């Protein structure tokens, strides 16, 4: 696997995810409950290429439309489906714009890359990459409040160097400690995130039981 120091986070994660999906095939499990790699690839294609249908990702009333279009997209031949993900959004998409596309896609492709990587017991954390860490921290600093909005307790995110961000204020708080990659995965609700959660055990459990992410 290559690092992302010489390319944007979104481009690097997209490239590595597609290489991994090519290697594993369409029926590999993922951390997205009920989804195989085929389902995940279809989700990414719809998200970037069918904005009207993709609206159901965030708007529950439109979720049946999103699911229907995603099922139809998943029926495409596997090589074609992976190629659509690899080639990125259509020319007319706002996600084609450099800075905007990076903000929208960087975390998305990082998280879904790990959704494929971290299945089973034999995965290992990737080597540290300063560019990836800083890019994720920059986005997480803006999105953390949204990701932890359902937490019944306050949440503080702390990097190993001591840098902190308040993700949610509360009368009682816990602190989630880890590198930006792992903090991002925790914020997006992945149980496989390698973090330490400090605080009263009951408060910690309440956070871990709460729904995180979007």
Q: Both 153 and 77 in a single domain? A: no
Question: Is residue 96 domain-shared with residue 145, that is, in the same domain?
Answer: no
Q: What is the mean pLDDT of residues 174-203?
A: 98
**Residue 87: band (very low, low, confident or very high) from pLDDT cuts 50, 70, 90:** very high
In the predicted model, what is the mean pLDDT of residues 33-57?
84
Residues with Cβ within 8 Å of residue 14, at least 6 apart in sequence: 85, 86, 88, 105, 109
Q: Which of the listed residues 117, 151, 177 is the one where a domain comes to its end? A: 117
Q: What is the pLDDT of residue 58?
A: 64
Q: Is residue 178 part of a domain?
A: yes
**Does 156 reside within a domain?**
yes
pLDDT digits (tens, 9 = 90+) for 155-164: 999 999 999 9
pLDDT band with cut points at 50, 70 and 90 for residue 4: very low
- Report the alpha-carbon distance of residue 210 to residue 176 in Å, rounded: 14
Neighbours of 136 (CB within 10 A): 25
User: In this structure, are 99 and 150 located in the same domain?
Assistant: no
The overall average pLDDT reported for the chain is 90
Do 113 and 17 lie in one domain? The reply is yes
Question: Does one domain contain both 148 and 74?
Answer: no
Q: Strands 164-168, 173-177: parallel, antiparallel or unpaired by DSSP?
A: unpaired
Residue 2 has pLDDT above 50, yes or no: no
Q: Give the alpha-carbon dihedral of 45, 51, 53, 56, to 10 degrees.
A: 100
97 and 174 in a single domain? The answer is no
Cβ-proximal residues to 39 (8 Å cutoff; 6+ apart), any chain: 30, 32, 70, 74
- The pLDDT, as a whole number, for residue 179 is 98
- Based on the fold, state whether residues 153 and 108 are members of the same structural domain: no
Please give the residue range of the domain that contains residue 106: 9-117
Same domain flag for 113 and 144: no
Give residue for tokens 């699911």: 67
Q: What is the pLDDT of residue 94?
A: 73
Question: Do the domain assignments include residue 128?
Answer: no
**Could you tell me if 14 and 113 lie in one domain?**
yes
Residues 189 and 105 in one domain: no
Answer yes or no: is 123 within a domain: no
Indicate whether 180 and 105 sit together in one domain.
no
Can you count the helices (H) and strands (E) in the chain?
Answer: 9, 4
Q: Is the pTM of this model over 0.85?
A: yes
Is 1 among the domain residues? no
Q: How confident is the model at residue 1 (pLDDT cuts 50, 70, 90)?
A: very low
Q: Is 133 inside any structural domain?
A: no
**Cα–Cα distance between 155 and 165 in angstroms, integer?**
9
E strands, 21-108, are none
**pLDDT tens readout for residues 92-146:** 777 776 777 787 899 999 999 999 999 998 899 999 999 999 999 999 999 999 9
Which of these three, 54, 82, 117, is where a domain ends? Answer: 117
125 falls within a domain: no
Specify the number of domains making up the chain: 2
**Domain co-membership, 156 together with 197:** yes
Q: Is the pLDDT of residue 70 over 70?
A: yes
Q: Which CB contacts under 8 angstroms, 24+ apart, belong to 49-52? A: 49/84, 49/89, 49/90, 49/93, 51/93
For 67-71, what is the mean pLDDT? 88
| pLDDT value of position 180 | 98
Residue 131 lies in a domain: no
- 196-198, strands of its sheet edge to edge: 164-168, 154-158, 173-177, 196-198
């Amino acid at each position: 696997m290559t690092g992302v120091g010489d390319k944007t986070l979104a481009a690097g994660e997209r490239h590595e995810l597609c290489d991994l999906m090519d290697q594993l095939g369409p029926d590999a499990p993922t951390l997205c409950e009920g989804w195989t790699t085929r389902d995940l690839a279809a989700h990414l294609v719809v998200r970037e290429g069918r904005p009207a249908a993709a609206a159901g990702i965030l708007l529950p009333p439109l979720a049946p439309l999103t699911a229907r279009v995603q099922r139809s997209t998943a029926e495409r031949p596997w090589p074609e489906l992976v190629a659509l993900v690899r080639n990125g959004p259509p020319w007319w998409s706002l996600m084609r714009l450099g800075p905007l596309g990076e903000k929208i896609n960087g975390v998305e492709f990082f998280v879904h890359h790990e959704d494929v990587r971290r299945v089973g017991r034999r995965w290992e954390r990737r080597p540290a990459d300063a560019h990836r860490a800083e890019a994720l921290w920059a986005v997480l600093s803006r999105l953390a409040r949204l990701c932890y909005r359902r937490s019944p307790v306050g949440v503080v995110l702390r990097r190993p160097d001591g840098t902190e961000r308040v993700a949610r204020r509360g009368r009682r708080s816990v602190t989630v400690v880890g590198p930006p990659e792992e903090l991002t995965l925790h914020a997006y609700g992945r149980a496989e995130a390698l973090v330490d959660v400090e605080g009263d055990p009951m408060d910690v459990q309440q956070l871990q039981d709460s729904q995180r992410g979007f």
